[in-house]
Amino acid sequence: MSVSNINYQVRPTLEKVEPDFGSSFTLMQFEEESKGEGRSWHFHPELELVFLSEGKGKRHIGNHISYFKKGDLILMGPNLPHYGFRNRLTADQKEIVLQFREDFLGESFFKVQEMKAIGDLIDRSRSGISFYGDTKRKIESRLQDLFYMNPFEKITSLLNILQILADSEEFIILNAEGYTIVVENQDNNRIDIIYDYVRKHFMEKIRLEEIASQVNMMVPSFCRFFKKLTNKTFIEFLNEYRVVHAVKLISEENLTITEICYECGFNNFSHFTKQFKKYTDKSPSQYRKSLVKHVK
């Protein structure tokens, strides 16, 4: 369920990715819950394919914020800012991460006619792609097999994985408008501080004076700063974040709609319903009923 199309134009942290020894790409698997707070808002020149076998939670990729469940298979293009996924894992879940540069087989490799479909996939990945259905199931086994292959087999299998993704029609573009990284930015850490504060305190009442003080700004300056960078007010962003959490609770918890309202930081039921419908086109009750019908 996507509820946001945010146009953040703040430079996130550059993460340096080192390919595995003797390989031109990086392959990692995590099987335990991360004890830390998770990665900060970051990006890297490499494409990143993330597979979560089960998992559920929030994803924040580019200008896209949404909730997912029953695992996820996401392909993120080069320099697409995102938060790390690993802090969502529990002990019985697995995360496989595959990272590679678009020119890891040469600058023109994906431009030849035979590779055109994969080249188009790479172009689409710049907006972030979430795959589902049979595609996700096919990719799962192939990613797991990569850990037991020799270098040549890994390359051919990776190309096979990319071809399956390129041919698939079971996908959703997460961020159709793309994302622009502004290199010249003296406020490099401010947006990360704001995001982090909202993630920790969105269930509480957050006054503008309170959030502005986190980045050492007066309220008028903070409001102009946030509006300029995101093309929306801080309150609009906060409401979107709370609605995403409400969707998570409706999907995962056996709470009443009223309980969910207050658990998400809304202190007025009418306002909660209005905001929920604004971003999902359904009331909370209608959304819950649609989930029940889907399960049946």
Domain ranges of the chain: 13-173, 190-295
CB atoms within 10 A of CB 78: 17
* C-alpha span between 126 and 176 (Å, rounded): 9
Nearest to 282 by CA among 246, 232, 235: 246
Angstrom distance (rounded) from CA 228 to CA 281: 27
> CA separation (Å) from 174 to 80, 188, 289?
11, 24, 25
pLDDT tens for residues 260-283?
999 999 989 999 999 999 888 889
CATH topology of domain 190-295: Arc Repressor Mutant, subunit A (1.10.10)
Q: Which amino acid is at 122?
A: I
Cα–Cα dist 53/283, whole Å: 30
Question: Matching CATH topology for 13-173 and 190-295?
Answer: no
* β-sheet with 72-76: strand ranges across: 26-30, 95-100, 47-52, 72-76, 129-131, 171-173
13-173: CATH class? mainly beta
pLDDT at position 196 is 83
Write the single-letter amino acid at 292.
V
Provide the pLDDT for residue 187: 52
For the record, the structure tokens of 138 come out as 């096919």
Where the chain has pLDDT below 70, the residues are 1-23, 32-40, 84-93, 176-189, 231, 292-296
pLDDT at 23: 65
251 with 56: CB under 8 angstroms?
Answer: yes
SS (H, E, C) 200-264: HHCCCCCCHHHHHHHCCCCHHHHHHHHHHHHCCCHHHHHHHHHHHHHHHHHHHCCCCHHHHHHHC
